[in-house]
Amino acid sequence: MRRPPSQPSPSASRKGKEPLRFLNRSTFPFAATVLVFVLLYVAASLHYTGFSRPQVFLNLLADNAFVGVAAVGLTFVILTGGIDLSVGSAVGCGSIIIATLVEKQHVHPVIAILLVLAMGTTVGSGMGALIRYFDLPPFLVTLAGLFLYRGIGLLVSMESVSIMHPLFARLSMAGVPLGDAGSLQLSAIVFLLVVAVGIYLSRHTTFGRVTYAIGGSEQSALLMGLPVGRTKMGVYALSGFCSALASVVYAVYTSAGNANAGTGLELDAIAAVVVGGTLLSGGTGYVAGTLVGVLIFGVIQTAITFQGTLSSWWTKIAAGTLLLLFILLQRAMHRRAR
Amino acid sequence: MKRPAPRLITSSPPHLLMPLAALALVLLYDALTIPGFFHVEMRDGHLFGSLVDILNRGAPVLLLALGMTLVLSTGGVDLSVGAVMAITGAMAAGLIARPEGFVLAGLDLHGSAPAIVAVSLVAGLAAGLFNGALVAFADVQPIVATLILMVAGRGVAQLLTAGQIITFEHPGFQFLGSGFVAGLPFPVTVAVAMFLVTAALSRGTALGLFVEAVGDNPTASRFAGVNARMVKLLVYGFCGLCAGIAGLIGTADIKAADANNAGLYMELDAILAAAIGGTSLSGGRFYLSGTLVGALLLQTLTTTILTKGVPPVLTLVVKAAVVVAVCLLQSPKFRSVAGRRFRREAT
What is the structure's pLDDT at A202? 93
Contact list in B for residue A141 (CB cut-off 8 A) is 323-324, 327
Tell me whether residues A155 and B319 touch, CB distance under 8 A: no
Question: Hey, are the CB atoms on B321 and A144 less than 8 Å from each other?
Answer: yes
Q: Which helix (H) or strand (E) holds B154?
A: helix B142-160
A324 CA to chain B: closest CA distance, Å?
6
Contact criterion met (CB < 8 Å) for B140 and A331: yes
Q: Does B329 touch chain A (CB under 8 A)?
A: no
For B91, half-sphere exposure in the C-beta direction (CA atoms, 13 angstrom radius) is: 28
Q: CB distance B143–A154 less than 8 Å?
A: no
Chain B residue numbers touching A319 (CB-CB < 8 A): 151-152, 155
Inform me whether the C-beta atom of residue B122 falls under 8 Å from chain A C-beta atoms.
no
State the Cα–Cα distance between residues B289 and B62, nearest whole angstrom. 11
B278: left (phi over 0), alpha (psi -120 to 50) or beta: left
- What are the pLDDT digits (tens) for B94-107? 888 877 767 776 67
* Partner A, chain B 279-308, Cβ-Cβ below 8 Å: 281-282
Q: Is any Cβ of chain A less than 8 angstroms from the Cβ of B315? A: yes
Q: Is A78 on the interface with B (CB under 8 A)?
A: no
What number of residues does chain B have? Answer: 347
Residues facing residue A256 across a β-bridge: A162
B278 touches chain A (CB under 8 A): no
- Which stretches of chain A are DSSP H helices? 10-17, 27-47, 54-63, 65-79, 87-103, 109-134, 138-156, 166-173, 186-204, 206-216, 218-223, 228-254, 265-275, 287-307, 313-337
Q: In degrees rounded to 5, what are phi and psi of residue B290?
A: -65, -40
Which amino acid is located at A23 in the chain?
L
Q: How far is B20 from chain A (nearest CA, A)?
A: 22
Is residue B184 less than 8 Å (CB to CB) from chain A?
no
- Residue B338, chain A, CB below 8 Å: the answer is no
B140 CB within 8 Å of a chain A CB: yes
Residue of B nearest to A139 (CA): B143
Interatomic CA distance for residues A128 and A281, integer angstroms: 18
| A2/chain B closest Cα distance in angstroms | 48
Substitution target from B103, B268, B313 for chain A, most A beta carbons within 10 A: B313
* Distance, CA of A297 to CA of A75 (rounded, Å): 16
**Chain A environment of B311 (Cβ under 8 Å):** 154-155
Q: Which of A25-29, B32-36, B53-57 has the lowest mean pLDDT?
A: A25-29
Q: How far apart are CA B320 and CA B314, in angstroms?
A: 10
* Cβ–Cβ contact B325 with A under 8 A: no
Among all residues of chain B, which has the CA nearest to that of A267?
B151
Q: Taking 70 as the threshold, does the pLDDT of residue B49 lie above it?
A: yes
- pLDDT, tens digit, for every residue of B60-110? 999 999 999 999 999 899 989 999 999 999 999 888 887 776 777 667 777
Single out the residue of B40, B282, B6, B22 nearest to residue B142, CA to CA: B282
Round to whole Å and give the CA distance between A101 and A112: 6
Angle at Cα A79 formed by Cα A77 and Cα A82, nearest 5°?
A: 45
Binary contact (A141, B314; C-beta < 8 A): no
Look over chain B and give the mean of its residue pLDDT values, rounded to a whole number: 84
- Chain A residues with CB under 8 Å of B155 CB are 313-317, 319-320
C-alpha torsion angle, residues B129, B132, B134, B137 (rounded to 10): -110
A-B CB pairs within 8 A amount to: 135
Which residues of chain A have a CB within 8 Å of the CB of B77? 139
φ/ψ of A161, rounded to 5, equals: -115, 125
State yes or no: ipTM above 0.90.
no
Altogether, the residues listed in chain A come to a count of 338
Looking at residue B47, the DSSP 8-state letter turns out to be E
Best probe of the B interface among A77, A87, A140, by most B CBs < 10 A, is A140
Measuring CA to CA, how many Å separate A302 from each of A61, A249, B42, B150?
11, 20, 57, 22
Provide the chain A residues 303-322 that lie in CB contact (below 8 A) with chain B: 311-317, 319-321
Domains in chain B, ordered, with CATH?
7-31+40-310 (1.10.3470)
Higher pLDDT, A35 or B310: A35
Strand, helix or coil at A317? helix
> Nearest CA to B202 among B242, B145, B146, B162?
B242
Model pLDDT for residues A24-49, shown as the tens digit of each residue: 666 777 888 899 899 999 998 998 88
Give contacts of B152 with chain A, Cβ < 8 Å: 316-317, 319-321, 323-324
Residues of A in contact with B164 (CB under 8 A): none
**Nearest CA to CA, how far is B321 from chain A (Å)?**
7
Distance CA A31, CA B9 (A): 57
The domain limits of chain A are 54-263+278-286
Residue type at B119? Answer: V
pLDDT in tens, chain A (338 residues): 444 444 444 444 444 445 566 666 667 778 888 998 999 999 989 988 888 888 888 888 999 999 999 999 999 999 999 999 899 999 999 999 999 999 988 889 999 999 999 999 999 999 999 999 988 888 888 988 988 998 899 999 888 888 888 888 888 888 888 777 778 888 999 999 999 999 999 999 999 999 999 998 999 999 999 999 999 999 999 999 999 999 999 999 988 899 888 877 888 898 899 888 888 888 888 999 999 999 998 998 888 888 877 777 787 888 888 888 888 887 777 676 65
